[in-house]
Amino acid sequence: MQQTLTPHVYWAQRHEDIYLRVELIDAQNLDISVHDNVLQFRAQGHGARGQNDYEFSLPFLNAVKTEVSHRSTQRQVNITVRKQLSGWWDRLTLQEKKPLFLVPDFDRWMDESDAEMELREKEEKKNRLNMESRLSEDSYITLKKAFLFTYNLVQFLGFSWIFVNMTIRLFILGQDSLYDTFYTISDVMFFCQILASVEVLNAMFGVVKAAVVPAFIQVIGRNFILFIILGSLQEMHNKPVVFFVFYLWSAIEIFRYPFYMLGCIDTEWKTITWLRYTVWIPLYPLGVLAEAVAVVQSISVFDQSRLFSIPLPEALGSSASFSCVLYIYLPLMVIGLLINFRHLYKQRRKRFRTKKRKSN
């Protein structure tokens, strides 16, 4: 019958922890717990008296937490007990006379002044790491704001040039300016709309807190109109509808991008905010209507030119006109309009409801 014995136990402390090292080779069936500030240890292993059951109990001098962490290696069991209150103990056990099996762990032993120095070093290291983390985060935020400000500034300048140029030409040339809009404006519009793809990427990768789907619908929809409907068909270049599409697009953006620019520098102008969340109400549906007119006008051109015609199996015919795609695209435009209109309306209601609450 195996005899229950006490293993050799080595101890050390810090201001917040107690460290115990139990000399027990190949310890098995470990049972370690703390109740009423008393540590109970039971295990099987090879100790000072060979292979046996070993156990001990340690009533601590002060209160400790009941959670115990331990790690068993081939040669020993390491135990860590957290003190209830941070501080330095004069001794480990409740009784002044320590148990015979308990001795200091000189490998980890420190006096109070050394432990305080170690604690200060840990705090300094922690504060240094926190400071480096904050600096890194601040650098990222600064870089992100600089990038977003530059992007919005470039877009604002581009769409402002388009809007001002078209307005001046309208006053000077009158109705004649409607027929050459594509030739005078399209290069800048191509640039701005290609660059607008960045907005989808920003939403996808979390650079800005924005919904991906509305941004995707707007960018893809506009680029489809610009590159496929207007850009690829020379017959569409002198259509008056080009003027209305470009003018309505730029009229919305000359208020949207300044609002975002001001947000990058944590500034708000009430007039710009109101315009950003209001002008789209009439202009956005009108813009989609102008896009739809452009699509309808291009259908006959695609039928005649057979541009982008879709190859079909011989049994069905040689090819299908791209106008078939446009007939499908038209109702999709309505769906996209409803999705984005709902999204923009929710943004507007949320913005002005929040401002109203703050003012109250």
- Catalytic positions: 284, 291
Tally of CB atoms within 10 A around 242: 26
At 48, list the tokens: 């000072």
Q: What is the DSSP letter of 309?
A: P
Do residues 240 and 248 make contact, with C-beta atoms less than 8 angstroms apart?
Answer: no
Q: Give backbone dihedrals phi and psi of 318, rounded to 5 degrees, phi first.
A: -75, -45
Residue appearing with tokens 């990058």: 264
For residue 168, the one-letter residue type is I
Nearest Cα neighbor of 235 from 304, 290, 177 is 304
- Separation of alpha carbons 265 and 149, rounded Å: 8
The C-alpha angle with vertex 235 and arms to 231 and 236, in degrees rounded to 5, equals 50
Angle formed by the axes of helices 212-223 and 197-204, nearest 10°: 160
